[in-house]
């Protein structure tokens, strides 16, 4: 009962904070924020002059999931040079609370149920909180930020005013700003996953980089018959991110889940005719031994072994953590080994693929919120706003000047502490010690980080090969829509059942345990599970999103 009363009071307080206040999309107040080398200064009509570092105060509790590139060398994010520098730069002490690897959602649910919340929490409040961020506000879990941003966050306020498409994405349908977002700053940062193929094998066999589904069939057949590849094409099928980005689904003008169609309506790809053709093709390739027989259970370490030891000749994944890692490992024993990016395939030669994997600038991931348990909202807001200042932007993406980067001809260049780490750490781990630019967090990611993270020519070619020149995928990506609380509950019940059935039947079709002649029955079963209602909910949320 005490927790319920506490949350009810928090909801009332949150409502009173936003009443009658101008949001970020409104006219900016006098004295816009400015930054200089001495520190980040900003003025607002409410808060007057402000500069970092702040005066010492109580530490803030900050709940955040760590990445493997951090945990490889540090037990806690707070132990990294990045975190120590952040506290020094802002003057704010932080106690980082981290869930065990792989237990993010479980630990999040336990904390929410307990009600004793950290001051700040990073999470995907759009997709992973039932009912979305507006429901989290009404539940008394997080506070709306309209008033907070106006008073204490001149840097984020300015960024949102200058980027209306982001402003639209980071508020609820009711107009409540709720988070400090992770933003991919430009197109190159949104095209980091795609197909890759052994170019040294292609050259040996007199083949070109495949561009169509038929050309891929020819290439994979040659890898099997002439190179002895036991699993010509393998990928981490169990990785949900990769499954949703599977280029061979997109080749048939559909995808695995929801997408925006050319009619500007939400559709569900796994019942499209194109999905039938994809399943037919994958079954054929499976029967011919062109795709990994163990694909349903493949993990990254198994894929890595096969793609580097010659058991496979093609895969998909990130240019950094996959392509770069595989190239470096394989070339130690085989200097001729070469992986290069392949474009999004289509079904017709010379036809630009309609679908392809492109991430939206703001997806909802790694959104930092201020909870209703926070006793010093200004301090939490100032900490998070720092990342959107000029100084904070440089810090989050490049670290400390003179230590992790130097300025050369007006551009930040990583030092040998990053590029040739004296501890022998891979570049991804060295970066994660000093920055958050190479993974995520509440800041705007800078493409200049990527230009240096991609140290190999093969990696540097990927943004162009996988980008808008390869497909029209950006036109079909779902924005971060938010169903209402009631809609979300109903939608979850429907889509959980549909997704489980879709996943089960997809593998059955590929492996031949179900004949493709059963596809119409499969579609009918999905429709009986409530697909029409799920689409109604998604389309209603999409219309509200466009009206924000």
CATH number at residue 70: 3.40.190.10
- Picking from 419, 445, 471, the residue at the C-terminal end of a domain is 445
Contact 140, 6 (CB under 8 A): yes
Distance of CA 25 to the CA centre of its chain: 25
For 227, residues 6+ apart whose C-beta sits below 8 A from its C-beta are 201, 205, 310, 313
- Residue 2: its pLDDT value, please? 39
Strands (E), 32-81: 34-36, 39-44, 48-51, 60-63
Last residue of a domain, one of 424, 445, 466: 445
Q: Let me know how many helices (H) and strands (E) the chain has, helices first.
A: 25, 16
Same domain, 249 and 315: yes
Separation between Cα atoms, residue 82 and residue 93, nearest integer Å:
13
Residue 121 half-sphere exposure toward CB, CA atoms < 13 A: 26
Listing from the earlier edge strand, what are the strands of the sheet with 367-370? 94-97, 60-63, 120-123, 367-370
Q: Is residue 129 part of a domain?
A: yes
Residues 172 and 45 in one domain: yes
pLDDT at 468 (0 to 100): 87
State what percent of residues in the chain have pLDDT above 90. 85
pLDDT for 65-101, tens place per residue?
999 999 999 999 999 999 999 999 999 999 999 999 8
Residues 389 and 337 reside in one and the same domain: no
Q: Are residues 211 and 182 in the same domain?
A: no
What's the DSSP call for residue 387? Answer: G
Supply 460's token pair. Answer: 């540097």
Domain assignment present for 130: yes
**Could you tell me if 175 and 88 lie in one domain?**
yes
Indicate whether 352 and 435 sit together in one domain: no
Residue 410 lies in a domain: yes
529 three-state secondary structure: coil
The span from the CA of 533 to the CA of 526, in Å, is 11
Query: Are residues 378 and 391 located together in one domain of the fold?
Result: yes
Q: Which of 464, 465, 457 is nearest to 331 (CA)?
A: 457
Instruction: Give domain status of residue 309, yes or no.
Output: yes
Q: Are 232 and 306 in contact (CB under 8 A)?
A: no
The overall average pLDDT reported for the chain is 91
How many domains, the chain?
2
Same domain? For 429 and 484 the reply is: no
Angle at 400 between CA 398 and CA 403, to 5 degrees: 105
Q: Is residue 450 part of a domain?
A: no
What is the pLDDT at residue 488?
A: 87
* 382, part of any domain: yes
List beta partners, residue 406.
Answer: 413
pLDDT tens-digit readout, 6-20? 444 444 444 444 433
User: What per-residue confidence (pLDDT) applies to 243?
Assistant: 85
User: Can you give the length of the chain in residues?
Assistant: 548
Q: Which residues pair with 48 in a beta bridge?
A: 44
Residues of the chain whose pLDDT is less than 50? 1-47
Residues 29 and 163 in one domain: yes
Residues 440 and 462 in one domain: no
**Which residue segment(s) compose the domain that 70 sits in?**
2-186+362-445
The per-residue b/e assignment along 302-333, b for 16 or more CB within 10 angstroms, e otherwise, is bbbebbbebbbbbbbbbbbbbbbbbbebbeee
pLDDT at 272: 98
Tokens representing 516? 């493709």
Task: For residues 31 and 126, state if they share a domain.
Answer: yes
Phi and psi at 515, nearest 5°, equal -80, 145
Q: Does 452 map to a domain?
A: no
Q: Residue 125, Cα to own-chain centre: how many angstroms?
A: 13
Domain boundary among the residues 445, 473, 492 is at 445
Q: Which residues of 169-199 are buried (b: 16+ CB within 10 A; e: fewer)?
A: bbbbbeebbbbbbbbbbeebbbbbbbbbbbb
Helix (H, G, I), strand (E, B) or coil at 49: strand
On whether both 206 and 176 belong to a single domain, the answer is no
Q: Does 451 map to a domain?
A: no
Distance in angstroms (rounded) separating the CA atoms of residues 347 and 281: 11
Work out the number of other CB atoms within 10 angstroms of the CB of residue 340. Answer: 20
- Measured over the CA atoms of residue 450, residue 451, residue 457 and residue 460, the dihedral's sign is positive
> Can you give the pLDDT at residue 389?
98
Task: Give the containing element (helix H, strand E) for 121.
Answer: strand 120-123
Strand bridging mode 266-268 / 444-445:
unpaired
**Cα 173 off chain centre by:** 22
Tokens of 74: 């540090």
């Amino acid at each position: 009962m005490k927790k319920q009363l506490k949350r009810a009071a928090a909801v009332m307080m949150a409502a009173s904070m936003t009443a009658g206040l101008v949001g970020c999309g409104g006219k900016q107040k006098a004295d816009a924020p400015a930054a200089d080398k001495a520190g980040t200064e900003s003025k607002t009509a409410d808060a007057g002059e402000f500069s970092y570092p702040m005066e010492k105060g109580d530490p803030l509790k900050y709940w955040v999931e760590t990445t493997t590139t951090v945990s490889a060398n540090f037990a806690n994010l707070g132990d990294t040079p990045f975190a120590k520098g952040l506290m020094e730069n802002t003057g704010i002490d932080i106690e980082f609370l981290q869930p065990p690897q792989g237990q993010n959602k479980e630990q999040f649910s336990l904390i929410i149920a307990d009600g004793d919340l950290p001051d700040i929490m990073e999470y995907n409040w759009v997709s992973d909180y039932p009912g979305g961020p507006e429901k989290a506000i009404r539940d008394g879990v997080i506070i709306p930020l309209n008033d907070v941003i106006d008073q204490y966050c001149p840097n984020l306020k300015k960024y949102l005013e200058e980027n209306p498409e982001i402003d639209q994405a980071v508020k609820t349908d009711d107009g409540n700003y709720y988070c400090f977002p992770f933003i991919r700053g430009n197109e190159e940062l949104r095209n980091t996953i795609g197909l890759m193929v052994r170019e040294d094998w292609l050259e040996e066999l007199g083949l070109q980089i495949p561009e169509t589904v038929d050309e891929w069939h020819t290439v994979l057949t040659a890898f099997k018959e002439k190179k002895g590849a036991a699993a010509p094409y393998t990928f981490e099928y169990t990785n949900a991110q990769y499954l949703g980005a599977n280029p061979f689904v997109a080749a048939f003008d559909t995808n695995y889940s929801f997408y925006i169609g050319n009619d500007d309506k939400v559709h569900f790809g796994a019942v499209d005719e194109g999905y039938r053709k994809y399943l037919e093709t994958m079954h054929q390739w499976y029967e011919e031994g062109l795709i990994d027989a163990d694909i349903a259970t493949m993990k990254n370490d198994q894929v890595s072994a096969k793609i580097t030891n010659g058991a496979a000749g093609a895969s998909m994944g990130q240019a950094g953590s996959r392509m770069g890692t595989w190239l470096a490992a394989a070339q130690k024993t085989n200097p001729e080994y070469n992986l290069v990016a392949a474009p999004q395939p289509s079904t017709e030669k010379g036809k630009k693929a309609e679908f392809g994997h492109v991430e939206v600038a703001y997806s909802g991931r790694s959104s930092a919120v201020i909870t209703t348990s926070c006793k010093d909202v200004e301090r939490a807001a100032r900490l998070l706003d720092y990342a959107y200042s000029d100084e904070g932007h440089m810090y989050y993406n490049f670290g400390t000047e003179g230590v992790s980067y130097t300025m050369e001809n007006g551009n930040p260049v990583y030092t040998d502490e990053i590029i040739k780490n004296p501890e022998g750490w891979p570049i991804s781990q060295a970066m994660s010690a000093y920055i958050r630019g190479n993974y995520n967090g509440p800041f705007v990611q800078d493409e200049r980080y990527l230009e240096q993270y991609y140290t190999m020519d093969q990696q540097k070619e990927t943004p162009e090969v996988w980008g808008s020149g390869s497909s029209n995928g950006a036109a079909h990506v779902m924005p971060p829509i938010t169903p209402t609380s009631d809609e979300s509950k109903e939608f979850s019940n429907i889509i959980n059942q549909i997704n489980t059935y879709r996943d089960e039947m997809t593998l059955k079709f590929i492996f031949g345990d179900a004949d493709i002649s059963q596809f119409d029955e499969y579609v009918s079963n999905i429709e009986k599970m409530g697909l029409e209602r799920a689409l109604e909910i998604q389309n209603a949320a999409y219309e509200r999103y466009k009206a924000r």
